[in-house]
């Protein structure tokens, strides 16, 4: 569904992304992992058409993602790291706005809004303003806003930052529902347990490059024998693999 090939992006002399390629199939959740400054946000920006790559291509179902008004952007939903809601508009009004921006016609928008609210469990709060919501409710509405136009690909940039375990669990349930509906999801996170629970495959990037890709098991198998033994001795989690691959130095 989503295919990115050889993406490059520099800001002045600094290379943010250097030749990243990745793929997300329909009904698949791909985890995009990397330490701070690894190039995750720049990659997501290029995947959704916000940031034009210096080189490389992004395509959805074979259609290249082009400029600002590119029609293929209607097939992409973006959940930003920030809670990007108009807090003084009602929950349904936020969804109606984003639906209109993606060209959803008025006759089906109402149903889409109801469906999106139902998916994230906010039907009872349709008229309430997000300013009155808890952090978890805002995060769920944030996801709903990216779904209201029924995209084929959903890009999620750390969508669970600052939410309680109950809300996080509800969000995971929502995402698994979407996977079951055949959506392709790219999930960026710092929480390795989230990636372990949700992601079918993981792409680990560092210094703007893909350093490993595969399932948790295949990543473990990719490690040299000595490193694999150390990781397994610890606990054999994805976090151990991640730390082994990206190092333990602080990234600020």
Q: Is residue 103 a contact point for another protein (CB under 8 A)?
A: yes
Q: Is residue 57 a contact point for another protein (CB under 8 A)?
A: no
Q: Please, which residues have CB within 8 angstroms of residue 157's CB and are 6 or more apart in sequence?
A: 40, 41, 44, 78, 79, 80, 81, 188
Q: Is residue 145 a contact point for another protein (CB under 8 A)?
A: yes
Q: d(Cα 15, Cα 68) in Å, to the nearest integer?
A: 23
Q: Is residue 78 a contact point for another protein (CB under 8 A)?
A: yes
Q: Is residue 135 a contact point for another protein (CB under 8 A)?
A: no
With beta carbons less than 8 A apart as the criterion, state whether 144 and 117 touch.
Answer: yes
Residue whose C-alpha is closest to residue 224's, from 208, 212, 207, 206: 212
Q: Is residue 13 a contact point for another protein (CB under 8 A)?
A: no
Smallest gap from Cβ 52 to another protein, in A, equals: 9
| Contact region with another protein (CB under 8 A), list: 28-36, 102-110, 188-196, 213-221 | 102-110
Which of 10, 21, 57, 81 binds another protein (CB under 8 A)? It is 81
3-state SS, residue 81 = coil
**Number of Cβ within a 10 Å radius of residue 50:** 17
Q: Which two tokens stand for residue 185?
A: 């999801």
| Number of residues binding to another protein, judged by CB under 8 A | 33
Q: Is residue 232 a contact point for another protein (CB under 8 A)?
A: no
Site for another protein in 166-185 (CB under 8 A): none
Residue whose C-alpha is closest to residue 44's, from 69, 66, 62, 20: 20
Which of 40, 73, 168, 244 binds another protein (CB under 8 A)? It is 73
**Contact residues for another protein, defined by CB under 8 A:** 45, 48-51, 68-74, 76, 78, 80-86, 88-89, 93, 96-98, 100-103, 106, 145
């Amino acid at each position: 569904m989503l295919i990115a090939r050889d993406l490059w992006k520099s800001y002045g002399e600094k290379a943010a992304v250097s030749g990243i390629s990745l793929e997300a199939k329909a009904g698949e959740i791909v985890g995009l992992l990397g330490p701070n400054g690894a190039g995750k946000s720049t990659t997501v920006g290029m995947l959704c058409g916000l940031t034009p790559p210096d080189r490389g291509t992004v395509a959805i179902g074979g259609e290249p993602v082009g400029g600002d008004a590119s029609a293929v952007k209607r097939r992409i939903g973006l959940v930003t790291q920030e809670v990007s809601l108009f807090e003084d508009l009602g929950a349904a009004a936020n969804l109606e706005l984003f639906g209109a921006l993606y060209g959803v016609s008025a006759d089906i928008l109402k149903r889409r809004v109801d469906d999106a609210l139902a998916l994230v469990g906010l039907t009872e709060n349709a008229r309430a303003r997000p300013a009155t919501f808890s952090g978890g409710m805002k995060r769920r509405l944030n996801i709903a806003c990216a779904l209201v136009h029924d995209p084929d690909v959903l890009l999620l940039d750390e969508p669970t930052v600052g939410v309680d375990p109950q809300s996080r669990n509800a969000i995971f349930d929502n995402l698994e529902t979407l996977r079951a509906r055949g959506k392709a999801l790219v999930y960026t996170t710092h929480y390795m347990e989230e990636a372990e629970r949700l992601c079918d495959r993981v792409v680990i990037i560092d210094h703007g490059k893909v350093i490993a890709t595969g399932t948790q098991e295949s990543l473990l198998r990719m490690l040299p024998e000595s490193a694999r033994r150390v990781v397994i001795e610890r606990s054999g989690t994805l976090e151990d693999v991640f730390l082994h691959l990206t190092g333990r130095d602080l990234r600020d």
